[in-house]
Amino acid sequence: MSITQGVPVPVSATEFKAWLDRASISSSPTALSGLTGLNRGTLSNQLRRGNVAESTVIAVARASGMNVLHALAAFSPYSDIQSRPIAPSHAELLSQIHHADLMAELQFRTSNKHYPRALRQDIPLITFPHDGSIRAWVDSIDPGDIRHRMSEETGMALTYIATQLTENKLNPHLAVAASRAGGVSFVSGLVVTEVITPAEGGWPVRAREDALLETSDDELVDVISARINLLQRKVKQRKEAREYAEKMTELLG
C-alpha cells in the first residue's frame, strides 16, 4: 500500500517475504532473529499480523550487508525514496544542531579572546535527536502548511502529529510525508528520526559542523532566536509542571 493512499501501515508481510526470498534469506522468525538479534516473538507477531516494521527491514538489510536505502525502496511505501537527491539541505543540517552548540558558535564569533574556538576543538557537537530536534527539522522544511499536508497524505490527525512532535517522535510514514511536503530529500526524515544512521542516509561526515561554520551571522541569530522561543515555552512548561506537582503532593500527601 502506498503512503499516499489512506491510513498507512508498516510494510506488508507478503512483500517482506518476497523480498527475503529474492535475497535468499529465510523468512522463519527463528532464522531472522538469529540474523538480526531482534526478539523472535516480535518478528513472529509482525509476520502473523501482516505488518512488518520498517526497523525490521533495516535490521535485516544491515545484518546481511545490503544497502539500507535499496532495501527500503523495495517496498511500495518507500519505492520513490531515492527519486530525489539524498543529500540534506543546509537548513535541515542546521535544524539538527543543539541550541547550546548554536550559542557556542555565536560566542566564538563574538570574541576569540574571551571564547577561543580552540577550547571546543576536541568536543563534538551534541548528538541528535535531542529535545525538540524533530520539530526543528519539520519547521526547517515547512513551506507554510506542512502539518496539514502530512495529515492529508498519511490520513493521520493533526492532533496526533502535534503529539508526536511534542514527544520528539515521528513515525517513518510521517517523516517521508514531511519530506515530500517540504520538497527535500526523502531520506532526511528517516535520518533525523533515527530510523537510519546519517551515514546510511548519505550525510557527509562532519556535515553539521561544516553547516554551522558556513552559516551567516544573520541566519545564526535567526535560528537561535527561534530556538530561544521554543526554549522559553519549555522552561515555562517545566515550571508549571513543578508547581502543579508540588501543589498536589502538598495538598494530598
Question: Where does this chain bind other proteins (CB under 8 A)?
Answer: 98, 100, 126, 130-131, 231, 234-235, 238-239, 241-242, 244-246, 248-253
**Nearest to other proteins of 118, 251 (CB atom):** 251
CA–CA dist 132, 65 (Å, integer): 33
Helices marked H in the chain: 13-22, 29-36, 40-49, 54-63, 68-73, 90-95, 99-110, 133-140, 146-154, 158-166, 172-182, 188-192, 207-214, 217-252
Least separation in angstroms between residue 178's CB and other proteins is 24
Least separation in angstroms between residue 242's CB and other proteins is 4
28 φψ region: left (φ > 0), alpha (ψ -120 to 50), beta (else): beta
**Nearest to other proteins of 123, 252 (CB atom):** 252
**Nearest to other proteins of 35, 103 (CB atom):** 103
Least separation in angstroms between residue 250's CB and other proteins is 5
Cell of 242: 513543578
Q: How many residues does the chain have?
A: 253
Of 26, 86, 27, 16, nearest to 57 (Cα)?
16
CA distances from 153 to 137, 159, 180, 181 (A): 18, 15, 9, 9
Cell of 6: 489512506
**Nearest to other proteins of 9, 231 (CB atom):** 231
**Nearest to other proteins of 101, 200 (CB atom):** 101
**Nearest to other proteins of 100, 158 (CB atom):** 100
| DSSP structural state of residue 123 | -
